[in-house]
Structure 1
Amino acid sequence: MKRSLTALALIVAATAAGAYWYIDSKQPQRAGELSLSSLQAPVTVDYDERGVPHIQAQNEADLYRALGYVHAQDRLFQMEILRRLARGELAQVLGSTLVDTDRLFRTLGIREHADRYAAQMDMTTPASQALQAYLDGINQYQANHPAPIEFDVLGIDKCPFTAADTLSVAGYMAYSFAAAFRTEPVLTHIRDQLGADYLKAFDLDWHPQGVVGQNLAAGDWQDLNAIAELSHAALLNAGLPQFEGSNAWAVSGSRTASGKPLLAGDPHIRFAVPSVWYEANLSYPGFSLYGHHQALNPVASLGHNPAFAWSLTMLQNDDLDLIAEKTNPANANQVWYRGQWVELQSRVEQISVKNAAPVSLTIRRSPHGPLINGALGETAGSTPIAMWWAFLETENPLLDGFYQLNRAASLEQARAAVEHIEAPGLNIVWANASGDIGWWAAAKLPRRPAGVNPSFILDGASGEAEKDGYFPFSANPQEENPARGYILSANYQPVSPTGMAIPGYYNLADRGQRLDDRLSDNRVKWDLHNSQALQLDPGTDYPQRLLAPLAADLRSATAGAEEQALVEQLLSWDGQHSLDATAATLFNQLVYQLTFAAMADELGDAFFSNLLQTRVLDSALPRLAADADSPWWDKRGSDAVESRADTVKNAWQASLAHLRSTLGDDATQWTWGSAHTLTHSHPLGQRKPLDKLFNVGPFAAPGGHETPNNLSHRVGPAPWSVAYGPSTRRLIDLADASTALGINPVGQSGVLFDKHYQDQAERYMRGEYVPMHLDAKAIKANSRSQLLLLPSPN
C-alpha cells in the first residue's frame, strides 16, 4: 500500500510538473535578453502593468522587426486563425464542417486578390519595408519558440507569414464591413415578392419595373438567402473580430477645459478573445506613436502622440453590389455584357480538409466580379450572381495610407494620408496639438448610373450595374475646423460637400443625435472626466420614438392592473439601459415580438432571420409603428384581417409570456443586467467544454443597441448576448497627451494562462479607464519588466 501510494504521488507530481513545464513554455518572455537576427542595434522593450510593450529602437527597421516579435509572442494564434479564415484554409485544421466557410471566402476572391496584389507591391516603399521587417519579426518568433497551445490542440503546422497574409486579413476586415450580403437579398425579395406597399417601411425608392430585368426563379431566391445566411454564420461563428460601427469626436480648444483639442474614440467591433487591438508604444529617433494594431499589420489603425491623435468609425457606404447576370441560352458559360456575349473566366482551387479528401472548387468570374453562387457548391441555382466590390476593384494602397497617417502632424498631411484609404469606407477623425481638428470620409465612391438604387440586386444585362469611374476625394464628406468647435462621427448618413447621394447601410441617427445634443452645449468645457461619462452613456431616445405611435394600442392590450403598470412604466421610460432597469428588458423583448408578429409570416423563417441581422430593420420599425395601414400588420394565412392593434396585442402578450418563462413571474426581477450579458469568445471556445477554458465571462452588461455605450445584441428573444461594442475606449487631451486614457475589453495577451489574458475584463465592464503611458518618465515609473533584443551574433 505504502509503495503504491508513493508511486501514485510520483506520477501525480510528474504529471503536474509536466503540465507546468508545458504551460510555462507557451508563455511570452517579457524579461531578460534575446537575440534577433537582422537587428542593427539593441532594442529595449519595457512592459507596463497591463503587458503593453513600450519599444525603443534606434531605427525604423529595428522598430518594426521588434514589434512583429513581441506581437507574435502575445497574439500568434490570432494571426494564424485570421489568415486561415481570410484565405479559406480553416477546414485544413478544423475539418469538413468549415468547408462551407472556406468555399465562401475563396469565392469572394480575397485570397486570389491578395496574392496578386502582393506580387505587384513595390517593396522599396517605406510602408512595404516596414511590413517586411514586421513579418520577419513574427517569423523569427514562430521559428524559435514552442507553438501556442491552440496549435497543438488543432494540429496546426507552423508556416511563415507573408505580405499576402497581411493583405488577406485586410480583405476579411473589409468584408466584415459589407452589409450588402445580409441586406440586398431580403430587400429585393420584399420588393419583388411582396410589393411596393411592403417596401414603404424601409423608405427605399420603389421601381415598379424592377432593377433586375429578368425574373429570378425560386431556386435563385433560395440561393441568395442561403448566401446571406452563410455570410452571417461565417462571421458570427468564427469567434473573431468584425467591424460593426463606432463613435468618434474631436473637440477644439475653444470648447475644452485645457484650451487644446480633445479626441475621443471607441470603434464598435465584435468582442472576441483576444480582442482586436494590440497596444504598443513605438519610438525611434524622430518618431513616436502609441498605437492600436490589428493582427499582421505593422502600422497602427488608431494612434496618438504629443503632436496629434486620431480615431476611426465605419463610413458604411455601400461598396458592394450584387448583380444578376443574363446567361446565353446557347452557351451557359457566357453572359450578356455591354451589348455582347462575354465568356466567363474560371479557375480551380483545392480546399484541404483535415481527415478527409480535398474539395475541388471552381471559381467563376464575370466582367462585374466573382460569381458568388460557387459558395454554395453543387446546389447553386440557375442565375449567376456576381459581386462587384470596391475592395477588389480599386488600387487601394491601404498600407501606405495608414503608414502616412501614423506620421501626419498637420491637416495637410492627414488629409493626404486619408486619400490613400479607398476601401473599406472609413471616417477618420483627427486632431493635433496646434489646435486643428478634422474629419474625412476615406473611400473611393463609385459613379453609378442615375436612378439606380444599389440597395437591390442589380441587372447585369441592362448596364445599370456599370461604374463610370469614381468621384474625386474632394467630393467625399469632410470637415476641417468647423465654427461650432467639434466634429462628430457615429455611423449616420453623412453629407457630401457637393450634395450628392452616398448610398449605404447607415446606422440610426439616434446615437449620433444624442451625442450631438451634448457636444453642442456651449456651457460645457470638455475634459477627460466628462468625456468618460459621454462614452459610457447607456441611454437612447429610440424607444419613445418607436413606442409613441403604439401607446394607445399597448394600453388596450393590457390585462389587469399589473400589466397596465408595466405599460405605463415602459411608456415613461427614459431609455437608460442601466443594469437595474426592467423597462430595458421589456422593451427589447417587445421589439423582437413586434417584429416577429408583423413580418415573420410574410418573409418565412430564413428571410426573417436574415432581416434581423440588418441595419435597415432599426430604421424600418419606427416607420412601421407610425403607419396603422401598413400591410405588414395583417397576418398571412388567417381568415381575419388583423389590424395594428391586433398585432401589438399579440406581441405584448407574447413578450410577457416569454419573460415570465425565462426570467420568472416577478417583473421586478427582469433587470437588464440579468438578461443582457457579455462573454468574450475564443475561436476554440465555440466548442464545449473548451468554452470554460478559453472564453471570458459572462458579465452583466449595461448599454444596449445604439446607445452611446453601444454594448449591442442582435434583435431576438431574451436573454441577450452582447455581440459587439467598444473595442477600446480612448480619450486624449492634446494639452498633455501623457494623460491619455484607454481600456482593453479583455487583456493585452492572447496566451491562455498568461496574467494579461483577461486582466482588464472586469474593469472594462465597470466603465473604468487606465493610463496609456506615453513619455519616458511614465514608462520608467510603470515598467514591470524589460526585454532586451540584441542583434544576433550570426
Structure 2
Amino acid sequence: MQVAKASISGIILLTLIFALNTKFGAVPPLGKFFDPDAGFWANAETSTPESQELNIPGLQDEVRVYFDERNVPHIYAENEHDLFMAQGYIVARDRLFQMEMQTYDAAGRLAEVVGPALINRDLNTRRLGMVYGAEKAFEEIRKDPEMLAAVQAYADGVNAWIDQLSPAEYPLEYKVLNFTPEKWHAAKTAYLLKNMTRMLAGRHNDVRTSNTIQYFGEDFVEKYFTQKPELNDPIIPPSREWDFEANVPEKPDSLFVPSVSKVIDPFPHQEGIGSNNWVVSGDKTASGYPILANDPHLGLTLPSIWYEMQLSAPGYNSYGVTLQGSPAIIIGFNEQTAWGTTNVGSDVMDWYEIQFRDETKQQYWHDGQWKPTTSRIEEVKVRGGETVLDTVIYTHHGPVFEVDPAVGEGEPVYHALKWIAHEPSNDLRTFYQFNKMANYEDYEEAVSHYTAPAQNFVFADTAGDIGLWVSGKLPRKWEFQGRTVSDGTDPRYDWQGWIPSEQNPHIKNPERGFVSSANQESAAPDYPYYLDDDFAPYERGRRINDLLTEMEDITPQDMQRMQMDNFAYNASTIIPEMIAWTNSDELSDKEMEVLDMMRDWDFMMEAELIQPTVYLTWRNRFYRAVFDDEYNATDASLRYPSRDIFVEVIKEDPEMTFMDDINTPEIESVEDIVTRTFKEVVTSLVDYYGEDLENWKWGYDIDNDLNHIANIPGFGAQNLFSSGAAEAVNAVRGTHGPSWRMVVELGPEVKGWGVYPGGQSGNPGSPNYDDMVEDWRTGELFGLNFLREEPEEYEYILKLSGSEG
C-alpha cells in the first residue's frame, strides 16, 4: 500500500511538473509564468531606474543617454555609428517584443511563435510577396554603404540588449507566449518598412470596380467614382500651374472585360480613417515663423506604433518619433527644419488576369508569346504543428493567386499582383536626410529618394520656406489604368515606367499662406498624370483648408486646438436634408424627441452628445437601405460609392433609381426610406442602450480601444470616452486614430509639442506603459524637451561605452 501511494504521488508530481512547464494553447507554462524570480513578477517596475555605466561591445566612443521625466531618451554620441547603435539598444530596451512581432508579421512568421491559428495570415503575407519585396529592399540598402552601416549599427545595438538579457528579464509577453528573442538581423529593418507599405499601400478596388461596371454599367461608375464632389479640395490647389511636358502612355481602344470574381483582400482596410498635416507660413502666425502640425492616423495599440526620442551627434540633432526597428527619426524636427507626413493613397496595387498555357502553370501568355513563370517555395513553420510548404507562382507582374469565381462554378481565375512593395527601395535614405536637412533644397533632394508607401511630406524651415511634396515612385499610367482588373496578356496594361520624381505634385510657398493634406485627391484635374480615383473623402481636407483660410496671428496652441476639431462635414451636408425628408407624422413621442435634438445639433462629434451616435447609425443605415437590395442580389463583390459623392448625388436626385427597394412590390420614396431607417435607429439604440438618452452619448458608442499589439487580454486600454470621428479632423473611431499629434513652431529656437496614446515603455508592468493615454484622449500635448546641448538636470542617465572600465 505504501509503495502504491508513493507511486501515485510520484506520478502526480511528475504530471504537475510537466504541466507547469508546458504551454497549452494560449496559456503559458504556469510554473515559469508564476515563478517569483523569473516569472511575470520580475517585470514590475515600482521606481525610477538608477543611473548606470554599461559596457556595450562594438561602441567606438562613450554615449550618454539622458532620460527626462516622461522617460524620453536623449542620446548623445560622438559619431553616427554609435548614435544608431545606441538607438537600437534603447528602443530594444523599451520595445523589444513589439519590434519582433512587427517583423515576424511582415515576414509571415507569426505561426512560428503563436501557433496554427495564424497560418492563414502568414500564408497571405507570403503570397502577397512581402518576403520577396523585403529581400529586394535589403539588396537596395546594401548598395548604399551609409544606410547599410546605419541599419547594421542599429541591429548591433538591438543584439547588445538581447545578449545581456536573462530569461527573468525577458519582456512579459515572451513569458505569456513562452518563446525567446532571436537575434536581430539588419534585414529586419527592410521587413518593417515593407510592413508600412502593406499597411498604407495595400488596398485596391480593381475587382470590385470591374464587377460593378458589368452589373451597373459605365454610367454608374462615371457618376459615383469618376465624378468628384463640388466640395472636393485637392492637396495641391488648382492655382498651381504645371510647367513640364507630361509623357502619358496611350490608352487601349477598349477596356478589358475580366471574369466576374471575388476580391482578394486578406488585410481589409477601414474606410475614411487617414492622417492630417499642414504648415502655415510666417505671414499667418503671431511669431512670424512657420508652424507645422501633423497627426498620422493609424491603428491604435499599446504600446504605440511610435517611440519618442532625441538623436544627437556631430552634424546631427533631431527630435520626434521613430518606428521600432528603424534608425533615425521618422516624423519630427531639428534645429532648422520640421517635417510631417500623411498617406497619399495612390493606386500602386494592380491585379492582372493571367492566361496559363496548361495546368502546370509553367508558362503564361503575354505580348504574343508564351513566357516562363518562376516560383518560390515559402516555408511557414508552425509552433506545435508541421511546417507548411507553399509554392507561389510569379509572372513578370508579380505573384499569382487563384481567385474564386463570383458566379457559378466556372473555370479557375488567376490574378497576378503588381505592387509597389515588390520594388527595390531605400526609403530610409529619405528619413536619414530629413534628420540632417537645413533648408528647402535639402528637403527636395531627400524626397527624391523615396519609393513607398507614397507620402505627402510637409516641410518648414527657420528661413520661412514651407512646402509639400507628394513623394514616392508613382507608376506612369493612362487614365484610369488599374482601377479595374487588367489584361495580363496585353503589354499596354503593364506599368509604363515611373512619373519623374520632379513631376510629382508639389508646391512651395503658395500665395494662400499654407499647405495641407488629409489623404484627399493629390491634385486638381489639370495635373496631367493619373494617380487614382479612390482618395479619401474631402471632409477633413476641406475643413482644414476652411479653418486655415480664415485664421490669422496663429499660435501653436491654435494648431493644437485644430487637431482636436470634431466638426462632422458630412453630417453638415446630409443631416438637414434627412431631417427634412423625415415624415414626422409617423413618429412616436420618443422618436420626435430625438429628431428635435438632431435639429439643434451643431455637427460636432463631442463625446458628451448623443447626436453623433444617432447621426452615424442613421446615416449608415440609410446608405445601406439605398444600395444593399441591389448589391446583395449577387454574390459578386461590388464597389460602394464613397459617402461624400453619395450625399451630393442624393441631394441632386432624391428619387434616384436606387431609392426603390427591389425586394418589395411598392415603389419607395426617399421619405419612406429615411423615415423607416430613423425609426429603426431609435428602436435599436433603445434596445442597446436603454430609454435614458444619457446612455446614448457618443463617447460610449465611439468604441475607442487601444488593444495590446498581440491582443493579449488585460494589456490594453478599452472603451476610452473619446470625441472625434472618421470624417472629423480629430479622426478617432474604434481602434484607429491620431497615433502621434505634433506641433512645431520654427524660429531662432525651434519648439515642439506632442503626444501619442500610450507611454515610452512596452512593459505592462511599467508606470510609463500607458501614462500618456489620458492626455492624448483629452488633446493635451506635452512640451517636447528638445536639447541643444547636453543637460545638467535629468531623471537618470545611462553611460554606454565599448570597453571595460
- TM-score band w.r.t. shorter chain: 0.7 to 0.9
Aligned position for 1:391? 421
Shift of 1:583: 1.1
* Counterpart position of 2:698: 672
Distance 1:28 1:404, change over 3 A: farther
The structure-2 alpha-carbon separation of the partners of 1:514 and 1:778, relative to structure 1 and needing over 3 Å to count, comes to: farther
Q: Do structure 1's residue 651 and structure 2's residue 677 form an aligned pair?
A: yes
- Which residue does 2:653 correspond to in 1? 627
Contact 1:201–1:620 at 8 Å: present in 2 too? no
Q: For 2:745 and 2:176, how far apart are their aligned partners in 1?
A: 45
Deviation of 1:123 (Å): 5.9
**Is contact 2:353–2:414 with CA below 8 Å preserved after alignment?**
yes
Corresponding residue for residue 224 of structure 2 = 202
Specify whether residues 739 and 187 from structure 1 end up closer, same or farther in structure 2 by C-alpha distance, changes over 3 A only. same
Return the offset for 1:490.
1.4
The aligned counterpart of 1:46 is 66
1:140 corresponds in structure 2 to: 160
Measure how far apart 1:741 and its partner are. Answer: 0.8
| Cα shift at 1:176 | 1.1
Note the C-alpha offset of 1:126. 1.9
> Which residue matches 1:698?
719
1:62 aligns with 2:97: no
Within 5 Å, give how 1:204-243 maps onto structure 2. 204=226, 211-216=255-260, 221-222=261-262, 224=263, 227-228=264-265, 230-232=266-268
Which residue, out of 175, 179, 188, partners 1:156? Answer: 179
Closer, same or farther: CA 408–129 of 1 in aligned 2, 3 Å = same
Letter in 1 for 2:257: G
Q: CA deviation at 1:214?
A: 4.0
Alpha carbons 1:744, 1:761 under 8 Å: kept: yes
What is the alpha-carbon distance in structure 2 between the residues aligned to residue 330 and residue 361 of structure 1? 17
Structure 1 residue runs of 5 or longer lacking an equivalent are 1-10, 237-241, 713-721
| Separation of aligned partners in 2, 1:69 and 1:466 | 44
Residue aligning to 1:748: 760
Higher deviation after alignment, 543-552 or 504-513: 543-552
Q: What CA distance in whole angstroms lies between the structure 2 residues aligned with 1:539 and 1:607?
A: 37
Determine the structure 2 residue equivalent to 1:506: 535
Aligned-partner SS, 1:177: helix
Alignment match, 1:477: 505
Matched with 1:256 is 285
2:47 and 2:164 map into 1 onto residues whose CA distance is 13
- 1:526 corresponds to 2:554: yes
Structure 2: distance between partners of 1:176 and 1:606: 30
Q: Which amino acid aligns with 2:728?
A: T
Q: TM-score, normalised by structure 1?
A: 0.87
- Matched residue, 1:239: none
Alignment correspondent of 2:193 = 170
Distance change in 2, residues 1:557/1:99 (3 Å): farther
Judged with a 3 Å threshold, the aligned counterparts in structure 2 of structure 1 residues 39 and 570 are, in CA distance, closer, same or farther, namely same
Residue from 194, 198, 215 that aligns with 1:193: 215
2:361·2:373 contact (CA, 8 Å) conserved in 1?
Answer: no
Tell me which residue corresponds to 1:106: 126
Q: Flag the 1:51–1:269 CA change in 2: closer, same or farther, 3 A.
A: same
- Residue type of the alignment partner of 1:634: D
* Mean CA deviation greater in 772-781 or 411-420: 772-781
Quick one: distance in 2 between partners of 1:670 and 1:265?
A: 31
**Of 316, 335, 347, the match for 1:306:** 335
- Deviation (angstroms), 1:481: 1.3
User: Could you say what secondary structure the match of 2:226 adopts?
Assistant: coil
Indicate the residue corresponding to 1:96 in structure 2.
116
Q: Deviations over 1:391-434 (max 9, x none)?
A: 313x4320112111211111111001001112111011010111
Which of 686, 706, 710 is the matching residue for 1:660? 686
Q: Which residue does the alignment assign to 1:23?
A: 43
Residues 242-272 of structure 1: CA deviation (Å, up to 9, x unaligned): 9952111111111111111111111111101
Q: In structure 2, do the counterparts of structure 1 residues 332 and 429 end up closer, same or farther at CA, with 3 Å as the change threshold?
A: same
Aligned residues: 744
Structure-2-length-normalised TM-score: 0.86
- Counterparts of 1:437 and 1:251, CA distance in 2: 8
Deviations 1:51-90 (A, max 9, x none): 1101111111111110100000111111111111101001
Q: Report the alpha carbon displacement of residue 608 of structure 1 after superposing the two structures with TM.
A: 10
Q: Is the 8 A contact 2:137 2:425 kept in 1?
A: no
Counterpart in the other structure of 2:782: 770
Aligned mate of 2:772, from 760, 765, 777:
760
SS of corresponding position for 1:34: strand
Matched residues in 2 for 1:608 and 1:587: separation? 30
Tell whether 2:580 aligns with 1:552.
yes
Whether the 8 Å CA contact 2:468–2:506 is kept in 1: the answer is yes
Task: Work out whether residues 732 and 739 of structure 1, in 8 Å CA contact, stay in contact via their aligned partners in 2.
Answer: yes
State the Cα deviation string for residues 320-351 of structure 1 (Å, max 9, x = none). 11222233368654322112222222121211
1: CA distance, partners of 2:327 / 2:360: 48
Which has the higher mean CA deviation after the structures are superposed, 421-430 or 470-479?
470-479
Residue equivalent to 2:795? 784
Matched, 1:579 2:579: no
Do the aligned residues in 1 keep the contact of 2:336 with 2:750 (CA within 8 Å)?
A: no
Paired residues for 1:318-717 under 5 Å:
318-328=347-357, 332-373=361-402, 382-393=412-423, 395-449=424-478, 451-495=479-523, 498-521=527-550, 524-556=552-584, 558-604=586-632, 616-624=642-650, 626-685=652-711, 690-692=712-714, 694-712=715-733
In structure 2, list runs of 5 or more residues that go unmatched. Answer: 1-30, 229-250
Contact 2:36 2:42 in 1 (8 A): no
The equivalent residue for 1:729 is: 741
Higher mean C-alpha displacement, 88-97 vs 627-636? 627-636
Cα deviations by residue, 1:481-502 (Å, 9 ceiling, x for unpaired):
1122211111111227844332
Q: Which moved more, 1:74-83 or 1:159-168?
A: 159-168
Structure-2 separation of matches of 1:505 and 1:360: 36
Amino acid at match of 1:706: E
Q: 1:154, CA displacement in angstroms?
A: 1.8
**Residue 580 of structure 1: CA displacement?**
1.5
Contact 1:674 1:700 in 2 (8 A): yes
Partner AA of 2:718 in structure 1 = G
Q: Within 2, Cα distance between the matches of 1:711 and 1:728? A: 12
The question of whether the paired residues in 2 share the 8 Å contact of 1:252 and 1:486 is answered with yes
Matched letter for residue 231 of structure 1: F
Shift of 1:519: 0.9
Query: How has the CA–CA distance of structure 1 residues 635 and 197 changed in structure 2, closer, same or farther, with 3 Å as cutoff?
Result: farther
Contact 1:511 1:708 in 2 (8 A): yes
Deviation of 1:787 after TM superposition, in Å, equals 1.1
For residues 754-773 of structure 1, the C-alpha deviation after alignment (integer angstroms, 9 at most, x for no partner) is 11100000111111111110
Cα 1:21–1:96, aligned 2, differ >3 Å: closer, same or farther? closer
Question: What do you get for the CA RMSD once the two structures are aligned?
Answer: 3.1
CA distance in 2, matches of 1:273, 1:460: 43
Q: Distance in 2 between matches of 1:411 and 1:493?
A: 24
1:753 to partner: Cα distance: 0.6
Q: Judging by fraction of residues, say which structure has more helix.
A: 1
- Equivalent position amino acid for 1:161 in 2: W
CA distance in 1, matches of 2:785, 2:758: 19
1:290 aligns with 2:309: no
Separation in 2 of the partners of 1:771 and 1:143?
35
1:199 and 1:495, CA in 2 relative to 1: closer, same or farther beyond 3 A? Answer: closer
